[in-house]
Structure 1
């Protein structure tokens, strides 16, 4: 009994699908038939009108050829002109047969017009052939007389041809109206079939809803179980479908079995979690021990000891009245203090400028007036409030001194320009030193570390740090060997937070 019920349900579903598909195919077939009828009608009308128009065109060309032939000046062109006239007459005869084919007395004016043209055209051909014969014999006067004798016949042919064209257009319009009525009937039939298809689809959707509604409840219950919620109530349904009822009962049983299994697994996971926590504490203890060991190694070189030593040397220089030595040691102390700070926390632009000046003081003590530093700072910039990544300005100036100016015996100038544009802080360092070789510059542009031991390493490191510290940070390098280098840095403007 159960197997018979399954087969019946499947047959009903397939029957509904087949009926819907049959209706859709019927709609498509009717649409295709309508288009074919309309297209055939249009093509038929066009062909008939084209034949009539071609006949009139051939007649006009024949008349023009005859007219040109009678005033011919060179008799050598006579055969070619006569051949042209005969070709046009052959075309007229062909088109006339085509356009008058199949007419009967029931066709009315079309039949009478076609009969008139069939009767007149042989006489017209006789006149034209007589004209051609006389022209070929060299008797132009007689030929011209024959030419004027056919003029009345030419007028009648033109009149009947025009009338035939108008009658053909009217007949085509009547045929088109009849065809349009047939197409309208086909469209009504197509609309009726579409309505039937919609009704069938609606019935099919209603039938599927009775099956899919319990399945939707099963899906929601499965999602709840996937979220580890096994306390949901059993699924109930009012459907009469035996297969769905069996599926719901099996799902409810599976839920209870899975709930028991999950509870067992959760208890097992709790035990594993405690074990992992113990292992994590052991690893944390090992990590703290390693950090303590590293801190112990660092404390062996205490920065405060170095600062105190430099301050002691500075006081000794002061007691010895060595002001220049005192200033040099003081600058070195500031540079050293700045270099020990973290390279990730931002610093003020003023601090970065200060350590750059202190570094340059040390270099001027070494090289004297060979080294010059020029600052150009826009009034829009407040160095005390603006924050920048540390070690960018001093590093670029140091790079300019070490690789640009130091190798030149005459020294040179480093110009630092700072300005703000559209909330982007621009830091530009330009020197007129030796420049960078094209090979090294190519490595820098690719973001790779140059193979040389020193040259370009500082620029590479600053560029890498800027990219790591922010996506908006940019560094560009322009250089020509022997002329100098320009380094442009763009940093989104950030400001120091006001202290409460």
Structure 2
């Protein structure tokens, strides 16, 4: 039994209560009407028996006074006779009212007729007695006595039959009362069971959605804000409760997402601040290493400039070019590592550096450069002093240890969202262990290594370049090192978009 969901719990409870009361009242009404019907039958039977018994008694009294009058001729007996005669007449009228087309009704009708005849005989006999008509009242007396005996036997037989019928009727009434009582008990038990089932139904209907809602609340309290809360139309109250709880869960989820987003932003900002601090620290340490590797760089720079001017005055172009390249390199280094540079500036510095090497070592050091022809490629911004340490490393740890020299190759091109720069040499190569050490060194060990390792010109090692690139771009996969077929390559993968 399921009522429409739009009905409120209060309405459902009132409906079930009224239904139970109605069933109980109908059962009580049925029992009352059944018992009342039995009582009416009992009263009717009693009244009929009483009427017959009363008529029998009046006939007996009338006969007694009749016989007394005939034996004593007493006026009191005569008056009493007429009184009882009138009472018998009234009884006859009452009996005739109860005549029905049944066996007993026929007997009652016969008794009424016999009593009429009996009254007539008695009245005729009394008149004859009072008129001193001896023959007539003697015969009338005999007929009256005979009629009285016949009526008495007939009425006694009928009362005996009524008594037996009353006993049977009483037994039937007792059985009916027992059946009605049993029916009432069964109906009361059925109503009790119905009420118990109804209470259980309502309890389950009320507690089941609340238990489900409690489980949803427990999941949300555990951090599962994606729990799906379905519609529930058990009742109007539960529907409103579920709708409100679902709205509250959505608001909590939105608020938590806002807090998480805020936390992520704050974490990113904090991480960026830490990275910036590390970047500044690395730059300061790199500059310190560069300064430590240079003895009064401004003095050296000015001295080189003077040497270049003297070489120019004496017409020594090679010496002049050499000094100019050295001056350009020192000028580029003196700008500091805390400023960025374009790829064009980095390449110009590399060309000056390679001119120094080729002037010093001749054809044993060959340099090949391949730059993709794109106007915006050379304007790409990257940390200053990124390429020179890689070229220095290619020379010092690569081709310088070969008697026949070698080739340093530099290439730059655009690939997807990245700018690729490769510095390769065909020197002695690099072991996989060394490559693993350079690329996957622990940050603390890397910072310690920055204080020790340095190149012969810039004072900056590959570790420093890798560390600064990772801090600058906010990612770790900015460099790949390969050593295949006698060629060692440092490949830089620099994203076009720099993290804020």
TM norm. shorter chain > 0.5: no
Considering Cα pairs closer than 8 Å and 6+ residues apart, tell me whether 1 or 2 has the greater RCO. 2
Larger Rg over CA atoms: 2
Please report the TM-score for the alignment, with normalisation by the length of structure 2. Answer: 0.38
